[in-house]
Structure 1
Amino acid sequence: MKIPYDKIISKIKEQTQISEEELNSKIKEKMDQLSGLISKEGAAHIIANELKIKLFEEGRVKIKDLVAGMRSAETVGKITNIFELREFQRKDGSTGKVASFIIADETGRARIVLWNDRADIIKDLATDNIVYIKNGLTKENNSSIELHMNTKSELIVNPENEKIEKVASQERPEPERKAISSLTENDSNIELLATIVQIFEPRFYEVDPDTGKRIRPTDGKFYNQKGKEISPAYSYVMNAVLDDGSSTIRAAFFRNQLTSLLKINNEQVLKFKDSPGDFEDIKQQLLGKIIKIVGRASKNDMFDRIEFIPQLVFPDPNPDEELSKLKKEAKVIE
């Protein structure tokens, strides 16, 4: 079961009188004791076990307490969004189905995923329905928790005596400003202010024009999920190296984030696919530029390094706002 580092720390602090400074010291000591053979998350797990801390609840839990790896998750939530049922082609040629919806309570939000025959349930659901879910399987996807329904899962619509008056807001919480050197692989909703020190040319790849999902050629042809031959559209990603004075990090700017960074539209970016030389002028303009981004850290296992995936890009951060932030941080340090 994968429990994020910040949740482990939060649980330990809730159930003990240990200060964060002492806790960090214990974790570092444990990592040193094991000669760096475990991660910070692993050391935190060991400390929690030594302190007999209960990291997750058995039985029904609030949505915020769902963690990846639960095999019999039980929760209740109000439906806030419903997505259409989709069909897809399996490798053996048979047709599968998938549908999903979002539930929320006062503590958080989660996506519920229905597969194959269970996907038909989506037709009987409506927003503001309250649903009770039992024996779901939790997975992590893009730093969010998904609860997948299998053959053993139960779903009850509008169960008796269940009321949810308020639900967690869809608004993104205020991001946490961090130094690159302090990033960990589980960090999400993190804000970085850094200088672009290296730029790589955009890489273009084929996608299904209807779904936007990556597709690959089969015998020189492209097919959608239903097995129909299609003409692909193109999406793209551009990698850059950022430096904030504490360290450097590679960031991957995908489609919308790249257009925000370059301040041009999709059609203009696609022109670089056939004329990559035209990108050179833009590259020179970007080098040395200070930008602000909000997103999540991700571990690149192949290169054993932390990378960053921006979700919001601010190509021209306000100097007065940033100076004000620095002054506040300086006062805290004093």
Structure 2
Amino acid sequence: MIRIPLNDIVAKIKDKTGLSEPDILAKVDQKCAQLAGLVSKDGAAHIIANELGVKLIEHGGRQKIKDVFAGMRSVELVGKVTQIYEAKDFARADGTAGKVGSFTMGDETGTLRVVCWGDQTNVLRDLQLNAVALVSNAMVRDNNRGYKEIHLNDQSRVVVNPKGETVGDVKVQERPQATRKTVKELNEQDQNVEVVGTITDSFNPKFFEVCPQCNKSAKNSTCAQHGAVQPNYSCVFNVILDDGTENIRVVFFRNQMERLLSKSTDELMQYRTAPDTFEQVRSDLLGQMVKVVGKVNRNMFFDRLELVSQLVFPANVEEELARVA
């Protein structure tokens, strides 16, 4: 199934019809209400696009990077190599050896990572920065952070500097400016919001198994994609953030937990086997003022809003005082 994020659907409808983003989102909300909760916002947006005659997916032929989405197969792209990551060996749970490497490529619409498995990692030896790469017969997946990636299989091909192919300036992926809000103002539609507050409580981190190949969940040492594996571990950490209007639980996955605590992955993993040593970390966090940029989710189990951190910084107290002066 091809998964197109709501923001991309809205952007395409806006581009093709000239409707404003608020008008499109209003139509999505109306469709959700009309169908009495039987469809998600993404699904409602698909219906709106269809009703307006907007084609979301162009099948066949070469694609631009902005037009590929998780679930697409037999994809062909051409782009300029912007980064190269060396191949690494790993051991599968059955004892056999594997290899994985990657590179990033971009065109005038964006950039993405290309993941190479097994013998496909040999192409990394032929790549150079700014070389043109033609990738064909590949598939698109979302990684564990929600970003799309190209994955190569045995049928995929990568041609370096193909004759007659050129790529202009690569579009630098810039994060849109987050909207500053108070905790009280947050709602489920906030996908890029900035909140400043004080940490008033925190909880012990939870560690979970992940696949060493794709970094997705590997509960009971089993990955849905790669089968039985010798898992690595990742973690999630929650704090309570209070800004004076209300408080909210903020969720930090491993990368953001590292930023918040200024600790390495290896240092975090030590708390998995020695959880009592984390008490001092929790104590040190109390009263710290931080700025969190992220998206709002509803925790369906507890029926509450939560802020999932995508970036976290120490708050500049003087700047914050100046904002309210």
Instruction: Please state which band the TM-score falls in when normalised by the shorter chain.
Output: 0.7 to 0.9
Deviations along 1:40-90, one digit per CA (max 9) or x if unpaired, are 111111111111101133322221222111112221111111111122233
Q: Distance in 1 between matches of 2:89 and 2:64?
A: 31
Q: Distance in 1 between matches of 2:148 and 2:278?
A: 41
1:21 aligns with 2:26: no
- The residue that corresponds to 1:133 in the other structure is 135
Q: Distance in 1 between matches of 2:272 and 2:151?
A: 40
Give the CA deviation at 1:100.
1.0
**What are the residue-to-residue correspondences of 1:206-225 with 2, within 5 Å?**
none
Q: 1:27 to 1:319 in 2, by over 3 A?
A: farther
Count of equivalent residues? 308
Give 1:156's match in structure 2, choosing from 154, 159, 166.
Answer: 159
Q: 1:12 to 1:319 in 2, by over 3 A?
A: farther
**What are the residue-to-residue correspondences of 1:182-331 with 2, within 5 Å?**
182-184=187-189, 187=191, 190-203=193-206, 237-243=236-242, 245=245, 248-252=248-252, 254=254, 257-258=256-257, 260-262=259-261, 274=274, 276=276, 279=279, 283=282, 286-287=285-286, 289-295=288-294, 307-320=306-319, 323-324=322-323
Structure with higher Rg: it is 1
Give the CA deviation at 1:216.
9.8
Q: 1:41 to 1:288 in 2, by over 3 A?
A: farther
Deviations along 1:103-123, one digit per CA (max 9) or x if unpaired, are 112221111111222222222
What is the SS of the residue equivalent to 2:70? coil
Deviations along 1:298-327, one digit per CA (max 9) or x if unpaired, are 676776776544343222234435754x79
Give the stretch that moved more between structures: 299-308 or 121-130: 299-308
What is the SS of the residue equivalent to 1:182? coil
- The residue that corresponds to 2:84 in the other structure is 82
- The residue that corresponds to 2:68 in the other structure is 66
- The residue that corresponds to 1:47 in the other structure is 48
- The residue that corresponds to 2:225 in the other structure is none
Q: Distance in 1 between matches of 2:218 and 2:5?
A: 31
Q: Distance in 1 between matches of 2:73 and 2:161?
A: 23
> CA RMSD, aligned part only?
4.0
Deviations along 1:128-171, one digit per CA (max 9) or x if unpaired, are 2101112210011112210011233232211122222322336x
Equivalent residue letter for 2:115: V
Q: 1:272 to 1:144 in 2, by over 3 A?
A: closer
CA contact (8 A) 2:248 2:307 kept: no
CA contact (8 A) 1:87 1:226 kept: no
Q: Distance in 2 between matches of 1:158 and 1:309?
A: 41
What is the SS of the residue equivalent to 2:71? coil
What is the SS of the residue equivalent to 2:87? strand
User: Where in structure 1 are there 5+ consecutive unaligned residues?
Assistant: 219-224, 328-334
CA contact (8 A) 1:204 1:236 kept: yes
Q: Which runs of 4+ in 1 moved over 6 A?
A: 204-208, 212-218, 232-235, 263-269, 298-306
CA contact (8 A) 1:175 1:191 kept: no
User: Where in structure 2 are there 5+ consecutive unaligned residues?
Assistant: 222-227
- The residue that corresponds to 1:32 in the other structure is 33
- The residue that corresponds to 1:118 in the other structure is 120
- The residue that corresponds to 1:332 in the other structure is none
Deviations along 1:185-232, one digit per CA (max 9) or x if unpaired, are 9x3x64332443431134567999xxx9999999xxxxxx998xxxx9
Q: Distance in 2 between matches of 1:268 and 1:156?
A: 41
- The residue that corresponds to 1:221 in the other structure is none
Q: Distance in 1 between matches of 2:105 and 2:73?
A: 19
**What are the residue-to-residue correspondences of 1:145-184 with 2, within 5 Å?**
145-169=148-172, 172-177=174-179, 179=181, 181-184=186-189
TM-score under structure 2 length normalisation? 0.76
Q: Distance in 1 between matches of 2:200 and 2:170?
A: 42
CA contact (8 A) 1:175 1:294 kept: no
Give the stretch that moved more between structures: 282-291 or 58-67: 282-291
Deviations along 1:1-52, one digit per CA (max 9) or x if unpaired, are 1111111111111111323333222111111111112111111111111111
- The residue that corresponds to 1:5 in the other structure is 6
TM-score under structure 1 length normalisation? 0.74
CA contact (8 A) 1:75 1:134 kept: yes
CA contact (8 A) 1:88 1:226 kept: no
CA contact (8 A) 2:198 2:242 kept: yes
Equivalent residue letter for 2:152: M
